[in-house]
A and B are shown apart, each in its own frame.
Chain A
């Protein structure tokens, strides 16, 4: 007997009798004998106590550090009620809501999530979660190329390098060419885009705030793209749009990015959640799940997955994308975060992160050998330059229990560093970090 496997020997016998075989192995008579002799090198069954011991041992091999690094993963505060609510089994152990009558819970939070995403992005329609910000951007690239029937796309070099790699990977296997637009002083060089822009490209992907934390000037792209009938794809950290002008303000066609900043813990890189929103015009070209409102036979308001003819389980090889399982529970996470923090709290957390990052940057650049890498407005990440040995800096921070800085390259013989502080970092923490970097 084993706690997850309830059958007793006697029950197994009774069931075999009904089936009409003597032995449970007879149910595998069609599996070739040569395949069946397994001796697996796997761990023995662990009791609960042994499992806790094993993970204690593993946890002790980690050195938890207080992060002063963002770069796509931000250490924002998570209100404590969220975990209690998302772990309700009705949410956690449900399947995809294909049977709407018993999935109104999932469908309702998806509807609320879509409302929050469209509100923050100022777009018409959002899908119900993508894997992460990078793959959401790749899906936007494919959506643009398919819509425009063009197999080239522009992407700014100031997009997060991991996002660039993911987009390039997805593109390569569909024979799509990604043309990179270089940076000028830490933001996209729109003059080069103006020169290169043509009708062979399906549009451009720009990120703001970008990888360096700089806020991009997004005016101007719409007019240029209207000339070539290209699509404007804007990638943003969703939470920052509570305080910055969003994609919709700049008349973007697709808004994508990561929503981890809406309270999702660091979790060593996942699960996080990508988002995607678009215009009414492009709604049917969008991948992923969309929930809509309808009525039941009694006239009661009800929610249902809609426009499913875009999806893989109906359209098969003609589907908009292959996405099936996604990050639904993380959509609930973001929804509850938005409810708890509300209109004011989301903004306040972002403003406080903005303050903390600017205070950190200001204090650091007072030190010898630390300068701003760019002359640009920045948001939650800041890029600095230093001639100091970055490994020495990192080691000094680690000794104090901090993770900083992230080294992202070299420029004119200096090291480029990326730093970030959220609303969770105290003034004392920041002052200690600055003092540590000064001594190092």
Chain B
């Protein structure tokens, strides 16, 4: 119980955990009218008190190194230790405004990472300035908008988004100032071409898709879709959240996509960090390269330079050059995997997913009976006589030390459970997951109470989420 305290609650007056040098520099006085005088409620703890506190806080979390994380559309794969070691090298931690000729190594990492991402995606130029997938989407949409504006094609105000899309897609379109048009999915989970045709017109700026889509199904008609959208004057944006299963096998650029983002914290194994930092590099076809945001890193005669001013770009979207520390991790990973192994990533993740799907489809309802890619979606338990819901199943998995799959997404599947077992999970781990899922499915019939009251073994049990929203207490002062 003691370790459930907040850092503020273990704070004691005059405990200190820091030391700073005294450099014999005179003291100057902050002008009185600007100086803060009120008492700050901030912690005072010794170094051990802080270390023990955050070590114990960490025990209340579940990370990849503890157990399987089959989180659909999130690609939670192993984060190699070397990525971390390399990005910690202090020789890369320089001031972002150091002159170009003193940061050639960093600029080479930037440029080479961008080049390899271009090869893997089939696009011609990448910026690494965007901080996350969602910012990459926003940037991509700005590029689409500027492209049409530059062509004086001002009536293109709409972006097409399938009903199965990630929530960030419509949100990004809206933030970029577009109206969202939804297209329906077919019964097999792919884009309905007739519905697509009915919305295509001279007011369409583009379409946002991922392929494989959020149901884990490859849009087999992608070349046809690309032709029709291009034919109507629109551009194709690829949501790179689902790039992992086709890595080294097929490329969005070849499918007809004009722009895409890549989540480095997913496919390229820089960790997710409890919600970030990630990085969301954006790639484009050559015809759109001039629109990429400034600053731009350029290579000229074996020298790298940073260009801050460029009239043709969409503008600037980050203070400096994106999350360089994350980019270094991704470059480390790209070198580790190498040409020999990219294809195996796609293959083994797809193998794991289909193996689980086939092993569990007798007990869980499978709405789309076909080969999946990296992920697939069940529609709750097959035996509908039980009132055990997807949420209950997710909570019960916690008792078995497995992170639950994504639930209630995509919205087009009732009681959705979306499973993605990345390629770094071995057959033994996958078999264990299958056994646990079978156990829970059986419990749902024989002992539903146990499932519905789960979890039983976690540090806290089911929470009153409505209370948190009704009576928001969001800081320590709200508790005292």
Contact = CB atoms under 8 A, between A and B. Distances in A.
A367 B251 CA distance: 60
Contact of A356 (B25, B145, B220): B25
Interface residues of A, number: 196
Given A101-B462, A134-B318, A406-B97, A5 B423 contact: yes
Contacts of A315: 167, 171
Interface stretch (A185-193, A194-202, A305-313): A305-313
A242 interface: yes
Given A173-B176, A270-B321, 18 more contacts: A5-B345, A7-B426, A15-B427, A28-B350, A55-B86, A91-B61, A99-B398, A112-B7, A119-B475, A166-B317, A267-B324, A271-B131, A312-B134, A322-B174, A329-B277, A339-B7, A427-B23, A427-B24
Most buried by A among B141, B293, B337, B342: B337
17 contacts: A16-B351, A27-B371, A40-B248, A59-B89, A69-B95, A85-B55, A91-B63, A100-B465, A101-B455, A119-B41, A244-B35, A294-B468, A296-B461, A304-B463, A325-B272, A339-B53, A423-B20
A317 interface: yes
A245 B98 contact: no
Those 10 A-B pairs whose CB atoms lie nearest each other, nearest first: A269-B320, A45-B338, A169-B315, A105-B61, A328-B275, A269-B96, A329-B273, A61-B105, A312-B171, A317-B170
A314 B469 CA distance: 15
B142 interface: yes
Nearest to A377: B31
Interface string B1-43: 0001011100100011110110111111011001110101111
Given A28-B249, A343-B43, A272 B319 contact: yes
A365 to B, nearest CB: 14
Given A100-B460, A175-B177, A87 B84 contact: yes
Contacts of A52: 86
Interface string B268-296: 00011111111010000000000001100
B463 A326 contact: no
B240 interface: no
A53 B352 CA distance: 34
Contacts of B108: 58, 61
B65 interface: yes
Most buried by B among A4, A99, A100: A4
Interface string A299-337: 011101011000111111111011111111110100110
Contacts of A63: 98, 101-103
Interface string B385-425: 00000000011001000011000010000000000000111
Nearest to B325: A267
Contacts of B355: 15, 18-19
B318 A46 contact: no
A6 interface: yes
A289 interface: yes
A312 B17 CA distance: 39
A316 B45 CA distance: 42
A403 B274 contact: no
Given A27-B350, A105-B58, A105-B59, A270 B116 contact: no
A87 B58 CA distance: 10
B474 to A, nearest CB: 5
Interface stretch (B72-80, B191-199, B229-237, B441-449): B72-80
A403 B98 contact: yes
Interface stretch (A73-81, A222-230, A409-417, A432-440): A73-81
A281 interface: no
A364 to B, nearest CB: 14
Interface string B454-476: 01001111111101110011111
A111 B318 contact: no
Contacts of A108: 6, 57, 60
A329 B271 CA distance: 10
B17 A342 contact: yes
Contacts of A339: 7, 17, 43, 45, 50, 53-54
B276 A12 contact: no
Interface string A28-39: 111110111010
B142 to A, nearest CB: 5
Given A36-B250, A346-B42, A172 B172 contact: no
Contacts of A169: 142, 293, 314-317
B472 A125 contact: yes
B210 interface: no
A296 B324 contact: no
Contacts of B369: none
B71 interface: yes
B45 A174 contact: no
A270 B325 contact: yes
A101 B171 contact: no
A326 B476 contact: no
Contacts of A4: 78, 80, 336-337, 341, 423-424
A415 B223 CA distance: 56
Interface in B175-217: 175-177, 180
A408 to B, nearest CB: 10
A132 B131 contact: yes
Contacts of A400: none
A252 interface: no
Contact of A42 (B16, B99, B339): B339
B167 A92 contact: no
B260 interface: no
A347 B65 CA distance: 38
B344 A2 contact: yes
B368 interface: no
Nearest to A352: B20
Contact of B336 (A46, A100, A115, A340): A46
B320 A268 contact: yes
Interface in B106-135: 106, 108-109, 116, 119-120, 131-135
